[in-house]
Each structure stands twice: as structure tokens, then as C-alpha cells.
């Protein structure tokens, strides 16, 4: 680029302004066009996963040419280069750490709909222990391992209730070396129950997300820290819904499901749309002006029409740009559902909740709506 000139102090007090020659600019422009052709050409050849890599390298060379020569970053102040470069550094952080989540979520996430997924109560897959309430050296060792992961932060490494988080928790976490004060009793089944349900009003949370056999294992380990525990009666087992004659560790428990699966389930559940126009009902006049009629007239009629027939055009303020939608007639639902919809509204729909109504008012309203629709 021998034609580039530095225009020094001849104008503009003290600054050096770099002028890019037409010739260099044209050269760069042509290079960029050639590189575009290269990108398109290479995309036609199958290089496996290298296609993406090559495309990105070529794009980056082009980007560098634009930034360094057209935007003249190569002659600019260093601090401007640092400023512009910093944006890419932080963008890289955004990429890397987001992907640290998204691409390490495990196999569950990748399953297509309809395929079986491993229940989370089976992080371990098949149960390792049969009749997990019987203590064996293996299950005790497993419990010790789990304890180190799940419990130490509050209950401490030695189980004295002195973990790093203990100071903040009131009441303090249980000291397993003492036999006093066990809220649910110092029995294997009761420790299992505590692990499953937590203790309300304390920092002890529910560990129902752990597989049942893991909870048995932890219970075994916790009790092993101090003297023999009380024996479990058949009634105790019944309390936690486990049949000691069967092998299944969780008894009547339902397995919980992973977040990703829950998300898919949620997606399958359809929401009700306002825009569907159903057959308008033919209705009689409402009877005397009771509480229900009054509420209907003041709160419902403006959208659902005088006779609950729907079809009124209303502005959908929640959407943008504002759209006009037709309301639905009030459906034939039982009183329970009616009360629920009136109180909470329909999420994702225009129907707002009316938490201000009392149950008796809603009952009146329900009766009134029914008379409207007869």
C-alpha cells in the first residue's frame, strides 16, 4: 500500500490523519469479493465438520480486512483497538459459559418426544439395592458418599451439625451424635420420612428428588453415627407407604421427572384461545336483579355480552400492535371450574382474574349465568 499517505501536521493541530488511497481501497474490496466467492464455492464441497470451520475462518479474515483497513483500526490509537477487541472477548464469555450449560445437560435433553426417558429417581439407572431398609456394608458406604455431597454443607463433615452454612440456619442443623430432639423420631423409617418431606419451619429441605434408595442409604449412614437406632414397626413402614415385604425402595412414591421433560410436558398442554367463535347460545332474560345479576352486569357483560353469548369485539391490549379479538361465550363448566376461572382468570388469555370476589358471590354469579343460558 505504497500510495497511502500520512497527512501530518499540515492541517488539524497536531493530529495525524490517515488517508486510505483509492487504489488500496479497491484492492481490499476486490479481495473481499474473491473471498465471498471462496465461501460459496467451499460450501459446495463436503468437508464434514470442517465446512463450518472454514466458513468462519474466511468470514473472520473478511471481517478483519474491513475493520483494519476500511475502518482503519491498524493506524488508530491502541485504546480504540482494545475497546473494539474487548467486545469480542466479552461475547466469547457469553458464548462459552452459556454453552457450558446447554451442551452439558446430559442425554435426557436430547431425547425426542415419545421416547422413554430415564426417570430422575434413577440417576443410578436400575436399583442397586434390594430391600434398601436392610443395612449392608455396601449401602452404608453409598450413604456415606451421598452424605459428603448432599449433607455436609449444613450438617458438617462429622455430622455434628456444624457445616459452613449451619451458622445461618435457625434452628441449627441436627447434630447426629446426639440422641435427643429428633423431630420425627430416631428410626430408620422416620429419617427416611424426614428426607422425603423436609421439616417445615426449619432449614431442612425435602430431598424427594433423590432416588428412594439413596435416601435409605443416607438414613442408614446418619443413624450409624451414634449408637443403634430404635426398631421400625410395621406401622412405621405403613406411615411412609413402603411395604417391607416387597423389594421396591420407594413404595407408592411416584418418580419425579427432569426439568427438560417437564418443559416438554408443559408445552404439550394447550392453552385456550379467545379467538375461537363457538355456537352462540340462545338465552332467556335473567331473573330478578340479585347479587349475581349485579356482578354480571357490571363485571362480565361488557365482554361476554348481555346473555353470556360472547362474540363481543374487544381490544387486546396485551398484544402489540393492538388487535381486536372476539370473546368466547361463557362455557358450560361445573361450579368448581367456574370459580377457578373467575378467581384466577385464564393465563395466556384475556380473561382476567377476579380475586376480589368472595366464594358466595361467585356462587351467586354462577347461578345467574346458568339462568342466562337456560
Partner 1 sequence: MSHTSAPGENYLTGPKGLKSWLLTVDHKRIGLMYLYTVLSFFLIGGIFALLIRWSLFSPDHKFIDANTYNKFFTYHGAIMVFLVIIPAIPAALGNFILPMMLGAKDVAFPKLNLASYYIFCIGAAFAVSALFFRGADTGWTFYTPYSIRTNTTVILVLCGAFIAGFSSILTGLNFIITTHKLRAKGLTWGRLPLFVWALYATSIIQVLATPVLAITLLLLIFERVFQIGIFDPKLGGDPVLFQHFFWFYSHPAVYIMILPAMGVISEVIPVFSRKPIFGYRAIAYSSFGIALIAFVVWGHHLFVSGQSEFANFLFSLITMFVAVPTGVKVFSWIATMYKGTIRFNAPMLYAFGFLEIFTIGGLTGVFLATLAVDVHLTDTYFVVAHFHYVMVGGTLMGLLAGMHMWFPKMFGKMYSEGAALVGFILVVLGFNITFFPQFILGAQGMPRRYWSYLPEFTFLNQVSTVGSWFLGAGFLWTAIYMGRALFSGAKAPDNPWDSKSLEWQSPSPPPVENFLHEPVVTEWTYEYRPSKA
Partner 2 sequence: MSQATVTHHHAHHFASADDEFEAAKQGMWVFLVTEVLMFGGLFVAYGTFRGMYPEMFHEAHKMLSVPMGALNTVFLITSSLTMAMAVTSAQKGLRSRTTGFLAATFLLAGCFLVVKYFEYMHKIHDGLLPAGFFTNHELTNPKAPLFFSLYFVMTGLHGVHVLIGMGLIAWIMIKNQKGYFSPAFYTPVELVGFYWHFVDLVWIYLFPLLYLVS
Exposure pattern of 92-130 as b/e (b: 16+ CB <10 Å)? Answer: eeeeeeeeeeeeeeeeebeeeeeeeebbbbeeeeebebe
CB atoms within 10 A of CB 266: 8
Please state, as a whole number, how many other Cβ atoms lie within 10 Å of the Cβ of residue 77. 9
Nearest to partner 2 of 84, 277 (CB atom): 84
Kindly write out the interface string for residues 66-105 of this chain, putting x where it contacts partner 2 by CB under 8 A and - elsewhere.
Answer: xx-xxx----xx-xx--xx-xxx-xx--xx--xx--xx--
Q: Give 230's DSSP letter.
A: B
Cell numbers representing residue 262 in the block = 417437564
Q: From the list 8, 52, 165, 335, which residue makes contact with partner 2 (rule: CB under 8 A)?
A: 52
Instruction: Write out the DSSP string of 336-370.
Output: HHHHHHHHH--TTSS----TTS-HHHHHHHHHHHH
Residue 255 interaction partner, one of partner 1, partner 2, none, beta carbon < 5-8 Å per kind: none
Residues 155-184 that bind partner 1 (CB under 8 A): 164-165, 168-170
Judged by beta carbon distances under 5 to 8 A according to partner kind, the member of partner 2, partner 1, none in contact with residue 241 is: none
Q: For residues 267 and 176, what is the distance between their CA atoms, to the nearest angstrom?
A: 44
Q: Does 271 bind partner 1 (CB under 8 A)?
A: yes
| Residue 46 binds to partner 2 (criterion: CB under 8 A) | yes
Among 2, 6, 15, 359, binds partner 2 (CB under 8 A): 15
SS3 371: helix
Among residues 6, 320, 334, 359, which is the contact residue for partner 1, using CB under 8 A? Answer: 320
φ, ψ (nearest 5 deg) of residue 18: -90, 135
- Which option in partner 2, partner 1, none does residue 46 bind, with CB closer than 5 to 8 A by kind? partner 2
| Radius of gyration of the CA atoms of the chain, in A | 35
- Closest to partner 2 by CB, 273 vs 278, is 273
Number of residues binding to partner 1, judged by CB under 8 A:
56
Contacting residue, 191, 341, 351, 372, with partner 1 by CB under 8 A: 351
Which of 105, 246, 273, 337 contacts partner 1 by CB under 8 A? 105
Closest CA to 159 of 204, 208, 224: 224
Distance CA 155, CA 148 (A): 10
Q: Are 221 and 215 in contact (CB under 8 A)?
A: no
Nearer to partner 1, 263 or 277 (CB): 263
Residue 45 or 168: the one with the smaller Cβ distance to partner 1 is: 168
The site string for partner 1 over 189-228 (x = CB under 8 A, - otherwise) reads: ---------x-xxxx-x-----------------------
Question: By CB under 8 A, which span of 5-13, 176-184, 250-258, 343-351 interacts with partner 2?
Answer: 5-13
**Separation of CA 190 from chain center:** 32
Tell me which stretch binds partner 1 (CB under 8 A): 47-55, 187-195, 333-341, 346-354.
346-354
* C-alpha distances in Å from residue 205, one per residue of 101, 112, 195, 302, 357: 25, 33, 8, 48, 35
Cα separation, 268 vs 109, whole angstroms: 16
Determine which residue in the list 4, 340, 349, 361 makes contact with partner 1, applying CB under 8 A. 349
User: Which one among 45, 78, 266, 324 touches partner 1, defined by CB under 8 A?
Assistant: 266
Residue 149 binds: one of partner 1, partner 2, none (C-beta under 5 to 8 A by kind): partner 1
Ranges of beta strands (E only) in the chain are 5-7, 17-19, 313-316, 323-326
Site for partner 1, residues 239 to 258, rule: CB under 8 A: 258
The single residue among 45, 149, 282, 359 that binds partner 1, judged by CB under 8 A, is 149
Stretch that binds partner 1, among 18-26, 86-94, 177-185, 328-336 (CB under 8 A): 86-94
Which of 2, 9, 87, 115 lies at the binding interface for partner 1 (CB under 8 A)?
A: 87
| The three cell numbers locating residue 374 | 337456560
Amino acid at each position: 500500500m505504497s500510495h497511502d499517505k500520512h497527512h501530518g501536521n499540515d492541517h488539524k493541530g497536531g493530529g495525524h490523519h490517515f488517508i486510505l488511497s483509492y487504489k488500496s481501497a479497491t484492492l481490499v474490496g476486490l479481495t473481499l469479493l474473491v473471498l465471498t466467492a471462496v465461501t460459496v464455492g467451499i460450501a459446495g464441497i463436503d468437508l464434514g465438520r470442517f465446512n463450518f470451520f472454514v466458513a468462519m475462518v474466511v468470514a473472520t479474515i473478511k471481517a478483519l480486512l474491513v475493520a483494519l483497513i476500511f475502518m482503519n483500526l491498524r493506524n488508530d490509537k491502541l485504546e480504540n483497538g482494545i475497546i473494539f477487541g474487548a467486545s469480542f472477548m466479552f461475547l466469547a464469555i457469553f458464548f462459552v459459559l452459556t454453552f457450558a450449560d446447554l451442551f452439558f445437560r446430559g442425554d435426557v435433553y436430547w431425547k425426542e418426544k415419545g421416547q422413554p426417558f430415564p426417570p430422575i429417581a434413577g440417576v443410578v439407572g436400575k436399583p442397586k439395592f434390594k430391600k434398601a431398609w436392610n443395612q449392608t456394608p455396601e449401602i452404608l458406604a453409598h450413604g456415606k458418599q451421598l452424605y459428603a455431597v448432599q449433607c455436609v454443607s449444613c450438617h458438617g463433615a462429622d455430622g455434628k451439625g456444624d457445616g459452613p452454612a449451619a451458622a445461618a440456619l435457625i434452628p441449627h442443623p441436627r447434630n447426629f451424635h446426639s440422641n435427643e430432639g429428633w423431630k420425627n423420631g430416631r428410626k430408620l423409617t422416620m429419617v427416611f420420612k424426614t428426607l422425603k418431606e423436609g421439616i417445615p419451619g426449619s432449614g431442612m429441605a425435602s430431598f424427594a428428588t433423590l432416588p428412594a434408595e439413596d435416601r435409605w442409604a443416607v438414613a442408614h449412614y446418619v443413624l450409624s453415627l451414634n449408637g443403634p437406632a430404635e426398631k421400625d414397626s410395621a406401622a412405621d413402614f405403613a406411615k411412609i407407604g413402603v411395604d417391607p415385604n416387597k423389594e421396591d425402595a420407594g413404595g407408592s412414591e411416584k418418580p419425579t421427572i427432569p426439568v427438560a421433560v417437564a418443559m416438554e410436558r408443559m408445552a404439550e398442554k394447550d392453552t385456550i384461545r379467545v379467538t375461537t367463535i363457538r355456537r352462540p347460545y340462545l338465552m332467556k332474560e335473567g331473573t330478578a336483579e340479585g347479587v349475581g345479576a349485579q356482578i354480571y352486569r357490571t363485571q362480565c357483560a361488557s365482554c361476554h355480552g348481555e346473555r353470556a353469548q360472547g362474540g363481543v369485539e374487544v381490544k387486546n391490549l396485551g398484544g402489540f400492535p393492538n388487535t381486536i379479538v372476539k370473546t368466547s361465550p361463557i362455557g358450560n363448566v361445573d361450579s368448581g371450574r367456574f370459580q377457578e376461572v373467575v378467581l384466577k382468570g385464564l393465563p395466556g388469555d384475556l380473561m382476567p382474574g377476579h380475586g376480589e370476589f368472595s366464594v358466595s358471590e361467585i356462587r351467586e354469579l354462577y347461578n345467574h349465568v346458568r339462568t342466562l343460558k337456560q
